[in-house]
Structure 1
Amino acid sequence: MKNHFELFALPHRYTLDRPALDARYRDLQRSVHPDRYASAGEQERRLSVQQAAHINDAYQTLIDPLRRARYLLELQGITMDEQGTHQDPEFLMRQMELREALAGVRGEADPLAALDRLAREIDEEYRALEAELATELDAGGDLARAVTLVQEMQFFTRLLNEAQELEADLEDQY
């Protein structure tokens, strides 16, 4: 079976040609759509459903930056745990600072504005990590560094999700 990049006729790179991916996805979905197999036998219909599921899973993996990065590393023989962390003291301190800042948002005079500033800061750090990761993975760089970057991106993703949950809570209160 083809890997996700081969399925969509894309190079094995972190940086994607999103329009090409989307166009190929639509073409593949059309080719296995159940309507095309309405008069086919049971086995062909089942195969079409399986192919559609595989196409959907591959597409979801490639459009998600973290899943795409983990998948590329997997293709290199490196399996990552979604909860994996690394023990860099500087990054651990940064995690604590950001968690404390998030916890302190409710005590601010304007919690929503404080949360917005913090979320922008978190997003900027995430994007910087993503840019560095693209460089490492696309250039065949340091895979150990790529693993570290993915672990850091996982932290920032979780933190952004927590910030969104807090924002929803704050909006309900104000």
Structure 2
Amino acid sequence: MDLTADFFSLFELPKSFRISLSELDSRYRDIQAQVHPDRFVSAGDAERRLSMQWATHANEAYQTLKKPLERAKYLLHQAGHDIQAENNTAMPVDFLMEQMEWREAVMDARSGGDHHELEHLHNRLRGDINARYDELADLFDQDDHSAATELVRRLMFLEKLLYEIDDALASLEE
């Protein structure tokens, strides 16, 4: 195993947005079984340290590849495309207006204690996000990294909004 290998190579997966999560899970468990620090308790310092490095690398790779947004960011980074999330927040006006409408609806449902409406918003947004991930997979298949970068930036907004809806649901359940 090579600590400098990209995350896809580490798990012997194709370098693609579309991956088998069950294969990822299985290969992650296989690697952890080989490198987990508990297996190296009685080993020397160097072996224990290397085991820890491997386990950390495998964990980071697994966490990145199992989440579609993180996997997309990783693929773009590997292709040399910076999504500029920190310093490029420009978005089309229609997308920003849509975001404002969503946030207002969430705020209204939250303040009104409307659990049913929050569930409805969650399901609608989850469907929209899933459709956009399908679109993103197609963009990666076509090697259209510029359009994929733009879509990833939008998905970052949408995933954050989904988190806010889930947070609102959780606060109503308390």
Using the size of structure 2 for normalisation, the TM-score is 0.90
Asked whether the equivalents of residues 105 and 115 of structure 1 are also in contact (C-alpha less than 8 Å), the reply is yes
Asked whether the equivalents of residues 64 and 74 of structure 2 are also in contact (C-alpha less than 8 Å), the reply is yes
Q: 2:42 and 2:64 mapped to 1: Cα distance? A: 32
Q: 1:149 and 1:117 mapped to 2: Cα distance? A: 24
116-125 or 68-77, which moves further after superposition?
116-125
Displacement after TM superposition at 1:103 (Å): 1.3
> Could you tell me which residue of structure 1 aligns to residue 13 of structure 2?
10
User: Superposition pairs for residues 100-139 of structure 1, below 5 Å?
Assistant: 100-106=104-110, 108=112, 111-139=114-142
How many residue pairs end up in the alignment?
Answer: 170
Match of 1:86, SS state, is coil
Displacement after TM superposition at 1:81 (Å): 4.3
Displacement after TM superposition at 1:167 (Å): 1.0
Match of 2:80, SS state, is coil
User: Superposition pairs for residues 1-174 of structure 1, below 5 Å?
Assistant: 1-83=4-86, 85-106=89-110, 108=112, 111-140=114-143, 142-172=144-174
Q: 1:164 and 1:106 mapped to 2: Cα distance? A: 11
Q: 1:138 and 1:42 mapped to 2: Cα distance? A: 44
Unaligned runs of 5+ in 1: none
Alignment deviations for residues 135-173 of structure 1 (CA, whole Å, 9 cap, x no partner): 111332x2111111111111111111111111122223x
Asked whether the equivalents of residues 83 and 150 of structure 2 are also in contact (C-alpha less than 8 Å), the reply is no
Using the size of structure 1 for normalisation, the TM-score is 0.90
Q: 1:23 and 1:87 mapped to 2: Cα distance? A: 39
Amino acid in the other structure paired with 1:111: D
Unaligned runs of 5+ in 2: none
Displacement after TM superposition at 1:63 (Å): 0.3
Alignment deviations for residues 40-85 of structure 1 (CA, whole Å, 9 cap, x no partner): 2111111111111000100000001111000000000012345553
Amino acid in the other structure paired with 2:32: Q
Instruction: Supply the RMSD in Å over aligned alpha carbons.
Output: 1.6
Identity %: 42
Match of 1:116, SS state, is helix
Amino acid in the other structure paired with 1:48: S
Match of 1:28, SS state, is helix
Which structure 1 residue ranges, 4+ long, deviate > 4 Å from structure 2?
81-84
